[in-house]
Amino acid sequence: MPVLPIIQPDNPILRRPAARVNDFGPELQNLIDDMLDTMMDACGAGLAGPQVAQSLRIILARLPDDADSQEKYAEDAGKLHIVVNPKIIRRSDEMAAGVEGCLSLPGLLGDVDRHQSIEIAGQDREGRPMRLAASDWLARVFQHEIDHLDGILYVDIATRVWRPDGDEEEATVSEATLG
C-alpha cells in the first residue's frame, strides 16, 4: 500500500469539518490500509483522514509497543484502533496536561490540557457499531485525532507552543498554524 502525503496547515482540508462515512466498501478499506502505512512510516501514534487530504471521519491510533511502552501503557501498547465516525460520548472531569506534537505540524510541540479519560462510540472498519474507553495517553491521542475531524489543530488549544530545537524557543500560535 502507498504511503500518503501528510498535509500541512496551508491546506484548507485541515480546517474543515470532515464528512461522515457511509460507504464501507473497498475504497474505504484501501484508504484505511494506506493511512496505516502512512502512520507507521511517519512513526505517529495517530492519524486522521483530513491529515491525508481525505475529509472523512476516520481515525487510527496505535501507541508504541517497545519495552518501555509495554510497561507504561500495558494492554494499550501496540494495539491498533481504527474508528470510523468517532464521537466522544463521555469525558472525565479530571484533566491532564501533556506535550503534543502532530504529523501535520512538524517541528513544533505544545502543552495541551485534555480529559484524563474518555469513552468513544463509532464504527469499526466494516461499519459495525463499537465503543471503547481510553485513559491517559491513549485518551489524549483519540482527542487529538477527533479534533482533526472537526478542523481543530492542537495549537489552537495549546497553552504554549514551541520548537524543540535545543533552546526550546517559544513559537507563537500564529507561527505554528502556518506550518
CA distance 117 to 94: 8
Single-letter code of the amino acid located at 54: Q
CA distance 49 to 178: 20
Q: Is 71 an annotated catalytic residue?
A: no
Dihedral, CA of residue 37, residue 105, residue 153 and residue 54, to nearest 10 = -40
Q: How many residues are there in the chain?
A: 179
Residue 53 φ/ψ, nearest 5 degrees: 65, 25
Give the residue from 7, 16, 105 showing the smallest Cα distance to 51.
7
Given phi > 0 = left and psi -120 to 50 = alpha, else beta, which region is 78? left
Catalytic residue among 27, 71, 94, 145: 145
**What amino acid positions are annotated as catalytic residues?**
145
